[in-house]
């Protein structure tokens, strides 16, 4: 009989990670509803419409340095200083032959000038400027439209509005911005053994860690999150909660109860309540996974083993969430290739998502496995700062081989 464990046999009926992800992404719809927000409330929202530059940036040529605006044709002859230009206080006259204007960073380039000489490259008294090098055309000048010409695409629909993107919109004078309505996600954990935090542990019980890891994972994304608690292995309670979750959310996530044990009700219930597929995944960890729909909501039934819950969240739920939030592709966690600093143990058959940590290698960054690799051991996951993806066909990986690494911490 098939059991759910972390052995390494290849199961010909198991779905590959790539195939499952392709099905999930194909069925995850992009959002339609949008709303208009003041720019400062739009941080971490997803842009619903292309933002075109309503004007050029810079809107006029200006100085990149503190120095002097000059005419190149005057060469290094001494020049008469005829005035000053500041950011926000332009010089209104023209730089005629034989003259120069003192200019500060960001000040508009005065008429007639075609270069700015940095003040470190000249000497000056109150009236006369002496250059120590020949100026070059357009030197130290920020050109009109150098960043964006009027009508250029500034931010594409589907852009996640990180701080730098808020900055760009602000530089264009955009006060309000159209973003997608936030996605609603409801989740709960299942299992008679689960106990809440803050109590002493009763014999045979465990603390419900998955609900807290799911909440933490979901909170990293700009979502409306509903925690529906921990539900015992009771068909009716689970059915009720699933239906309530599907009414209030766009996407429902559960943990536990998706394998083939006597108390695993998710599979049986969902056949009646929705259209759900149960996949034995060809991966380690995270073998059983349920995916489909209940009512209008997408559904993910994640395995109960705490490391499997986290791995399947990153590999399948997060890409689906990003697509449903309206974020443009790519939706998967990006990976980089790094050399193995220590050997990775692996049998051929399943795609491994080993937990790794970044280390300083001989020639830059490298990656090593954490010691505890079992799907029920959270300390290994907690020590890890990355997943190391080893393809299904791979066997033991020697030191120095390049492996695919997904970093778990990102900057915004």
Task: Return the H-helix or E-strand segment holding 242.
Answer: helix 235-248
108 binds Mg ion (CB under 5 A): no
Q: How far apart are CA 234 and CA 323, in angstroms?
A: 33
**Cβ nearer to ligand AMP, comparing 42 with 310:** 310
Buried (b) or exposed (e) across 353-385, using 16+ Cβ within 10 A? bbbbebeebeeeebbbbbebbebebbebbeebe
In this complex, which beta carbon is closest to ligand AMP, that of residue 251 or of residue 289? 289
- The yes or no reply on residue 208 touching ligand AMP (CB under 6 A) is yes
Task: Provide the minimum distance between the beta carbon of 302 and Mg ion in the complex, in angstroms, as a whole number.
Answer: 12
In angstroms, what is the minimal distance from the CB of 229 to ligand AMP? 11
285 belongs to the binding site for ligand AMP (CB under 6 A):
no
Q: Kindly tell me which of 25 and 263 has the beta carbon lying closer to Mg ion.
A: 263
Site residues for Mg ion, window 249-288 (CB under 5 A)? Answer: 256-257
CA 251 and chain centroid, separation: 19
Q: Among residues 210, 254, 282, 312, which is the contact residue for ligand AMP, using CB under 6 A?
A: 210
Q: What Cα–Cα distance (Å) separates residue 70 from each residue in 104, 108, 132, 133, 173?
A: 13, 13, 13, 12, 31
**CA-based R_g, the chain, Å:** 30
Q: How many CB atoms lie within 10 A of CB 337?
A: 10
- The C-alpha atoms of residue 242 and residue 228 are separated, in whole angstroms, by 10
- Closer to Mg ion at the Cβ: 68 or 313? 313
**Cβ neighbour number for residue 106 with a 10 Å cutoff:** 16
CB-wise, 182 or 285, nearer to ligand AMP?
A: 285
Helix 318-325 to helix 17-27 angle (10° resolution) is: 20
**Which residue number, 57 or 253, has a Cβ lying nearer to ligand AMP?**
253
Number of residues that bind ligand AMP (CB under 6 A): 20
Among 62, 255, 282, 351, binds ligand AMP (CB under 6 A): 255
> How many residues touch Mg ion (CB under 5 A)?
3
75 C-beta neighbours (distance < 10 Å), count: 10
Among 303, 319, 349, 369, binds ligand AMP (CB under 6 A): 303
Would you say 255 and 312 are in contact if contact means Cβ atoms under 8 Å apart? no
- What minimum distance in Å lies between the beta carbon of 261 and ligand AMP? 6
Contact 92, 112 (CB under 8 A): no
Binding window for ligand AMP (CB under 6 A); candidates: 41-49, 209-217, 245-253, 382-390: 209-217
Residues numbered 304-363 forming contacts with ligand AMP, rule: CB under 6 A: 304-306
Among 68-76, 154-162, 185-193, 381-389, the segment contacting ligand AMP (CB under 6 A) = 185-193
**Which residues lie closer than 8 Å to 195 by C-beta, 6 or more apart?**
201, 202, 205, 206, 207, 208
Rule CB under 5 A: is residue 303 a binding residue for Mg ion?
Answer: no
Residue 262 beta carbon to ligand AMP: minimum distance, rounded to whole angstroms: 10
Please identify, using beta-carbon distances, which residue of 254 and 282 lies nearer to Mg ion: 254
Residues that bind Mg ion (CB under 5 A): 191, 256-257
Residues that bind ligand AMP (CB under 6 A): 189, 191, 193-194, 206, 208-211, 255-259, 261, 264, 303-306
């Amino acid at each position: 009989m098939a059991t759910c464990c972390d052995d390494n046999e290849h199961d010909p009926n198991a779905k590959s990670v790539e195939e499952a992800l392709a099905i999930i992404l194909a069925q995850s719809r992009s959002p339609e509803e949008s709303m208009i927000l003041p720019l400062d409330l739009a941080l971490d929202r997803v842009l619903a419409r292309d933002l075109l530059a309503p004007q050029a940036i810079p809107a006029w040529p200006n100085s990149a340095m503190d120095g002097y605006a000059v005419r190149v044709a005057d060469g290094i002859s001494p020049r008469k200083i005829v005035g000053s230009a500041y950011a926000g206080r332009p010089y209104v006259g023209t730089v005629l032959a034989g003259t120069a204007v003192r200019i500060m960073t960001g000040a508009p380039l005065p008429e007639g000038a075609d270069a700015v000489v940095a003040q470190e490259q000249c000497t000056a008294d109150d009236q006369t400027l002496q250059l120590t090098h020949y100026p070059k055309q357009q030197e130290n000048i920020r050109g009109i439209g150098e960043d964006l010409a009027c009508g250029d695409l500034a931010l594409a629909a589907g852009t996640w509005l990180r701080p730098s993107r808020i900055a760009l919109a602000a530089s264009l004078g955009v006060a309000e911005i159209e973003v997608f309505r936030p996605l609603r996600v409801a989740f709960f954990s299942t299992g008679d053994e689960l106990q809440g935090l803050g109590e002493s542990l009763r014999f045979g019980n465990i603390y419900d860690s998955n609900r807290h890891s799911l909440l933490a994972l979901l909170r990293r994304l700009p979502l409306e999150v509903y925690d529906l608690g921990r539900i015992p292995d009771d068909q009716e309670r689970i059915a009720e909660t699933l239906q309530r979750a599907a009414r209030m959310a766009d996407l429902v996530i559960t943990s536990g109860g998706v394998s083939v044990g006597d108390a695993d009700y998710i599979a049986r219930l969902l056949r009646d309540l929705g259209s759900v597929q149960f996949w034995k995944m060809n991966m380690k960890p995270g073998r059983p996974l349920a995916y489909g729909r209940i009512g209008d909501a997408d559904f993910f039934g994640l395995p109960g083993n705490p490391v499997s819950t986290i791995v399947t969240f990153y590999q399948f739920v997060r890409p689906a969430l990003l697509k449903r939030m309206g974020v443009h592709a790519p939706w998967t966690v990006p990976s980089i290739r790094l050399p193995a600093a220590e050997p990775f143990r692996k049998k051929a058959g399943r795609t491994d998502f080993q937990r790794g940590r970044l280390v300083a290698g001989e020639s830059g960054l490298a990656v090593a496995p954490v010691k505890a690799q079992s799907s029920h051991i959270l300390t290994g996951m907690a020590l890890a700062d990355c997943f190391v993806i080893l393809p299904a066909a791979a066997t033991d990986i020697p030191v120095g081989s390049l492996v695919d690494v997904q970093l778990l911490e990102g900057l915004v």
